[in-house]
Structure 1
Amino acid sequence: MKTSQCLNPTVFVIFGGTGDLNMRKLAPALYNLYSDGYMPKDYAIIGTARSKLTDVQFRNTIMEGVNSFSRAGKVKKEKWDGFAENVYYNPVDVSAPETFQDLKTSIEKLKKKFGPKTQVIYYLAVAPNLFPLIAECIAKYDLAGNEENCRIVIEKPFGRDLETARELNKLLTGIFTEKQIYRIDHYLGKETVQNIMAFRFANSFLEPLWNRTYIDHVQISVTEQLGVGDRGGYYDGAGALRDMIQNHILQLLCLIGMETPINFDADEIRNKKVDVLKAMRPFGPDDIRMSTVRGQYSKGWVEGKEVPGYRSEKDVAPESNTETFAAAKFFVDNWRWQGIPFYVRTGKRLFQTSSLITIQFKDVPHQVFPAGVTEHWQQNRLIISIQPEMSIRLQVQAKRPGLDMVLNPVDMVFDYKGTYSAEAPEAYETLLLDVMIADQTQFMRADQVESAWELLMPVINAWESKTSLSFPNYPADSWGPEDAEALIARDGFHWFTLPLKNKD
């Protein structure tokens, strides 16, 4: 049970304490956990960065972040004062490793104050190139502790390719045990994503249908209306394939495709996810040509405002070959899924922001209704909406009210807002609490990360080695390049979307 009553005293060290991730996500999440009674009785949060700040200055800085980005709105003074008295700041500069000695002194004082069961969590909310440097300094100054009282949290991207991911894993496992390493993917903390396992494995009627006999195909779409914004420098070295498919989307695919676990043990669940990745069909040259699509957005109009093309964005190369859209068709070659396509797509500057998983079931084996009755006939679909709405809906055929027998699709909907009055926690709240209680279920293991990179490296290498002559190939506020429609249309399907109220 996730409650502060079972949490050991905790020292939470945030490298990159003055950065955007802490302001927007970590500080609001930790404050909300405190407000809701989920922080340990004894805890301390130490922010670190190169800036010279006092504790009070740092507290005021993160309060601005909480006021701006917390789901609960602006802080309540009494709550904030109780939370902030345990927030500290310690300047640390990785280019001056001796500053880690001051951090060690601060941690040791808190451990002495809180007692021998104190756990220390290092959160690396910094640029990826600093991950190895910080880890090495933690080792040098004997800050790694043991697997029972020390953990390290690594943000994505975990490596830039298979080789760098292996190097980082080798470095980290030379300092920490695998049980101490938490490779975080915030998508796995989203409420609807976590409900996929509950929906699949807590309902007996689904398992007999969850296979190639009854499922026609699976779609996973993670689309964004925004462009790259101020992330042009990072994004131009990454692209949609690395930024979204390698981690977020493949994790969703694993949740849909995994076999039933024996129990809810973290390693058992992660074993099942790795099994999916290892069963996925490798990409050969013909597969890359026929089963993948890349795109890059041009200028256009979004909600009445003109927006620039990708190559005109800040810190983006004027002749950039980086994809802002990627689509692919995957196959999972095992008994459950053999021959069933998994279509995925993701992109920026698309028509709407949404994250949808659609499972389309095969048609009925024999049509007993006359043609006029089935004018609006549609195959059954299970639609899991992660954002902007959180819902799970089953689309079935039903008779329209009236004297005539006319069938049309209807939705059986589980809607979070309509079902529960309590507000869903943010993803980072869920995952930070999991780190504190040492639950690795929603965190990627080394072999999981490397298997995902291994699957995608042929596509990454092919795209990087050959410049696209068609870029840019889709306008802002569209659904992406035409080739993405052709990718799925060749098999007789189409991309599924949910209508949004704010779109015509």
Structure 2
Amino acid sequence: MPANPLRDVRDKRLNRIAGPSALVMFGVTGDLARKKLLPAVYDLANRGLLPPSFALVGFGRRDWDDEDFAAEVLEHVRRSARTPFDQRVWDQLRQGLRFVSAEGFDDDSAYVRLHQTLEELKTSRGTGDHHAFYLSIPPNSFEMVCERLSSHDLASRHGGAGWRRVVIEKPFGHDLESARELNRIVESVFPSDSVFRIDHYLGKETVQNLLALRFANQLFEPLWNANYVDHVQITMAEDIGIGGRASYYDGVGAARDVLQNHLLQLLALTAMEEPISFDAADLRAEKAKVLKAVRLPEDLEAASARGQYASGWQGGEQVVGFLDEEGFNTESTTETFAALKLEINNRRWAGAPFYLRTGKRLGRRVTEIAVVFKRTPHMLFQDHGSAEFGQNAVVIRIQPDEGATIRFASKVPGTQMEVRDVTMDFGYGHAFTEDSPEAYERLILDVLLGEPPLFPRHEEVELSWKILDPFEEHWAALGTQPEQYAPGSWGPDSAHALMARDGRTWRRP
């Protein structure tokens, strides 16, 4: 067989090719698996990063055999894979596909069949005693699945050979107490270094590039502190509503769904000190220090904002309001927009606040980190242009157009000394010929390799809940519904007031 032209030679050179293994996917019939996980497995195979001795086992409530499962995988690969379809790659991957049909996650007979399937794959595919269990399932099913994996001898290594790993998707609990209980359940079956908590934002190229931008460039790091930085804004905005997620979203809300995990992880990566290495323990130690140093404001009401999108026009289309979405109680106090102001009480960041916001039905889909610098102390040019110029910014765009922008002041061509803000832009799509892999490609490969730097440990999860829980308790005590905001806007008036109290404004992405 000729060499695969899509093989990632850099990963091969760095020995980042998975070894013999089987990936067991619980919840394989769900949206996440169909749209992201199954295509990511194929893309890894197409890039030459999965060995011939790899197997994928689906576990779900479908009356399928292996052929039915293969047809389902093929459909979603053709529909959503990032790399071109290659029949030879598919034929090899197809040979390692198996499906275990279950009546539910408590079906003991299904775990017996799963054990038999994994034993068969050791011989037929050479997977060895290396198994990863991906739990793409509701958190209330984690305990049941972990208990069954343990009682059926699936979570145990045999004779010291091989490994067992478990992958769990967010949410990691709904508050500090539930997060601790969830951690107790999972780590009673799998050791802590075998538990991989997925935050797919940490797999994105630009998030990882944030570390390179900070620590590989002398240009930025000396200025990356409160002596020069006025404040930092971290935004994750969506231009869609909750769609058909009423059963999941009601009672969860924007703060628990996005802010507690994605945005606080981005805050930690933006604010952390330089680690002594990129090993998991060193990265996690620095992130944990930042989260421990976060200081909650005395006035939680003034330092936070909540909203629910109303009905109206967005993008030339009439859209329903949050409370009119199917499946919602019109008295729901669940928020679709949340914003917080946080201070980091350490030498680097004291005095430079971090503003976090996330919401649905906002002006556009964008995720970015904006580091906004202080104005120059001597405004030599204040009479030669707009009063708005002079506040430089470094903006790291995470989605949809990954890259970075630097905003600085420049003279306008002409005979007058007129100064205006301009931008210098870097885009991944323009600077590199290589396509950026999907976040789940990187994360699944890291699981199979046993490399955990991009996965938050339970300490980080618990520290994040310690930050968010007081706000959630404050909002619950109010007993009022969040403020309404127009679809296509940038959130409720209270969010703009949050910034205005400090004499600042939100960036318009």
Regarding TM over 0.5, the answer is yes
C-alpha deviation, 1:414, in angstroms: 1.5
User: What is the correspondence of 1:286-305 to structure 2 with a 5 Å cutoff?
Assistant: 286-305=298-317
Q: Structure 1 counterpart of 2:359, which letter? A: G
- In structure 2, what is the equivalent of residue 130 of structure 1? 141
C-alpha deviation, 1:415, in angstroms: 1.0
- Give the match's secondary structure for 2:247: helix
Equivalent-residue separation in structure 2 for 1:61 and 1:113 (angstroms): 22
Equivalent-residue separation in structure 2 for 1:338 and 1:6 (angstroms): 43
- In structure 2, what is the equivalent of residue 24 of structure 1? 35
Change (3 A) 1:111 1:78: closer
User: What is the correspondence of 1:162-311 to structure 2 with a 5 Å cutoff?
Assistant: 162-283=176-297, 286-311=298-323
Whether 1:488 aligns to 2:502 is: no
Whether 1:473 aligns to 2:484 is: yes
- For residues 261-293 of structure 1, what are the alpha-carbon distances to aligned partners after superposition, in whole Å with 9 as ceiling and x for unaligned? 01111111011111111110135xx42111011
- In structure 1, what is the equivalent of residue 98 of structure 2? 88
Change (3 A) 1:160 1:373: closer
- In structure 1, what is the equivalent of residue 11 of structure 2? 2
- For residues 367-412 of structure 1, what are the alpha-carbon distances to aligned partners after superposition, in whole Å with 9 as ceiling and x for unaligned? 2235125556231100111112111111111222233322222222
Equivalent-residue separation in structure 1 for 2:87 and 2:52 (angstroms): 19
Equivalent-residue separation in structure 2 for 1:309 and 1:434 (angstroms): 40
- Give the match's secondary structure for 1:450: helix
Whether 1:415 aligns to 2:431 is: no
Is residue 183–residue 458 contact of structure 2 (8 Å, CA) maintained in 1?
A: yes
- For residues 176-196 of structure 1, what are the alpha-carbon distances to aligned partners after superposition, in whole Å with 9 as ceiling and x for unaligned? 111100000001111111100
Equivalent-residue separation in structure 2 for 1:56 and 1:42 (angstroms): 19
Whether 1:59 aligns to 2:70 is: yes
C-alpha deviation, 1:133, in angstroms: 0.8
Is residue 53–residue 127 contact of structure 2 (8 Å, CA) maintained in 1?
A: no
Candidates 414, 428, 440, aligned match of 1:402 = 414
- Give the match's secondary structure for 1:104: helix
Is residue 298–residue 472 contact of structure 1 (8 Å, CA) maintained in 2?
A: no
- Give the match's secondary structure for 2:406: strand
Change (3 A) 1:243 1:373: closer
- In structure 1, what is the equivalent of residue 6 of structure 2? none
Is residue 8–residue 117 contact of structure 1 (8 Å, CA) maintained in 2?
A: no
- In structure 2, what is the equivalent of residue 364 of structure 1? 376
Equivalent-residue separation in structure 2 for 1:197 and 1:432 (angstroms): 21
- In structure 1, what is the equivalent of residue 24 of structure 2? 13
Unaligned runs of 5+ in 1: 499-504
Equivalent-residue separation in structure 1 for 2:322 and 2:63 (angstroms): 36
- In structure 2, what is the equivalent of residue 334 of structure 1? 346
Normalised TM-score (structure 2): 0.93
- Give the match's secondary structure for 1:287: coil
Q: Structure 2 counterpart of 1:244, which letter? A: V
- Give the match's secondary structure for 1:372: coil
Equivalent-residue separation in structure 1 for 2:345 and 2:247 (angstroms): 37
Q: Structure 1 counterpart of 2:490, which letter? A: W
Q: Structure 2 counterpart of 1:292, which letter? A: S
Pairwise CA RMSD? 1.7
- Give the match's secondary structure for 2:384: helix
Equivalent-residue separation in structure 2 for 1:150 and 1:254 (angstroms): 29
- Give the match's secondary structure for 2:11: coil
User: What is the correspondence of 1:346-357 to structure 2 with a 5 Å cutoff?
Assistant: 346-357=358-369
Whether 1:459 aligns to 2:478 is: no
Equivalent-residue separation in structure 2 for 1:330 and 1:7 (angstroms): 40
State how many pairs are aligned: 494
Equivalent-residue separation in structure 2 for 1:375 and 1:320 (angstroms): 43
User: What is the correspondence of 1:440-455 to structure 2 with a 5 Å cutoff?
Assistant: 440-455=452-467
Change (3 A) 1:40 1:474: same
- Return 369-378 or 354-363, whichever deviates more: 369-378
- Give the match's secondary structure for 1:473: strand
Unaligned runs of 5+ in 2: 1-9
Equivalent-residue separation in structure 1 for 2:126 and 2:367 (angstroms): 44
Equivalent-residue separation in structure 2 for 1:448 and 1:275 (angstroms): 9
- Return 205-214 or 370-379, whichever deviates more: 370-379
Is residue 117–residue 149 contact of structure 1 (8 Å, CA) maintained in 2?
A: no
Is residue 358–residue 383 contact of structure 1 (8 Å, CA) maintained in 2?
A: yes
C-alpha deviation, 1:82, in angstroms: 2.5
Is residue 294–residue 345 contact of structure 2 (8 Å, CA) maintained in 1?
A: yes
Normalised TM-score (structure 1): 0.94
